Structure 1
């Protein structure tokens, strides 16, 4: 089976801590590039017949725009979520420093969340199971829409390479392609990240403002668990998955991420020494 590993498009970044990372929406430019990437991938040999996305909004929206371009279904599965929802907000200018450390010390965790080793296992085991399941269903290809940290870990575990270099090679959005055997084991690399040139669109300011108004309304509808209203608003952004039931799942994930965020939003970024001590404690256990 051919598996496409897809990194989400560019999103609005909230460094104030007011909005959970899982609830960051795509920028209008990111939405347009997601559609472009869908068209590019659709022209490749064995394009994806199904897209699976994490429930983070930037991944879901990337997948939804690609699914529309490809004419395929989109489903959610948080086996393919990012390592930590809190990384971007808390790290700020220390992002590269902390990520480098965590790539090198995968048993250390940030804010008491899952560590990189656990996230890699979650992703790779979930992918192997999905490949076996979908091949039994007759599919020859599928795409996973996810995030740079966990995608880097998964890609390295399959195809090798340096984690930092893999992450740096990924654009917003981007895609790599791998081949898997029927039993879900990795067979070979078809195409690495960074191979397709997308043309950034010019979005008029009035369209950007209209986009912002709609995503604010989407957030409100998600908070109120109004899946039908969420679907109606997303349709205005060109997002209309074949299975509207996905909006019920999205609403549930939205509420859960808000609760999770409130639990750790005030925590301080640990020093590298503190992270190192965590790693030693995990190893000793």
Structure 2
């Protein structure tokens, strides 16, 4: 074998080794997003089609998920589509609370209702929990020893301890009823797997009222997402969000509570030659067919 060929093979093997090492260390699909003025975590989650609660866990954020311009948000940090395994310890029948935990998140992880965890541990509203606190996961209801002074001090100096209210029965369920968000003609329908048809389009008249399809909380109101124009995103439960795009004017702001049927925007137009509303519903960050939720039109 010639010296030149031997050097080439050595360089090739070295490149492969370092390439594999980099892939294992960072994950193939990891992305990083720099927060801009007006962004919310729900907006970032919508942009990348991930669940907002999962995005918060990836970035060690606790509710109300406050982010600031310049923050770096990791998307899919282990490159596998699932949040990394937490470093918390879970002994047999005992869960040790970590910073940023909420009773609801713990319940999801250990597959137990938050209400049951609260009853077993003698927790009463507002269900304050502290890093280092040991939560019993089985047995009869029992009082939990108060957190140590060091735990309380640690929690107070960093930020107030997470307070979790017992979620309602439908905290992650679909709203009991949905209504059409606008009057007009259905011009485009949902098509799974097609990135350009992840919702429905309704053609109407410019300035027509756009209504909340179900009651909820506005988690984004702005024009920062390409191809959506002026956009409103409403959170209905821990699982369901709805979005209203191509608006001419926004009538609500982030944090507003809205009722079903309440006007939240005015119909506008994007690249279309006709005034149009683009409407989507997402479940845990993934687009679903709105027609499976909206009532039949008479």
In the superposition, the TM-score normalised over structure 1's length comes to: 0.23
Q: Which has the higher helix share?
A: 1
Q: Which has the higher contact order (CA 8 A, sep 6+)?
A: 1
Instruction: State the structure with more CA Rg.
Output: 2
In the superposition, the TM-score normalised over structure 2's length comes to: 0.22
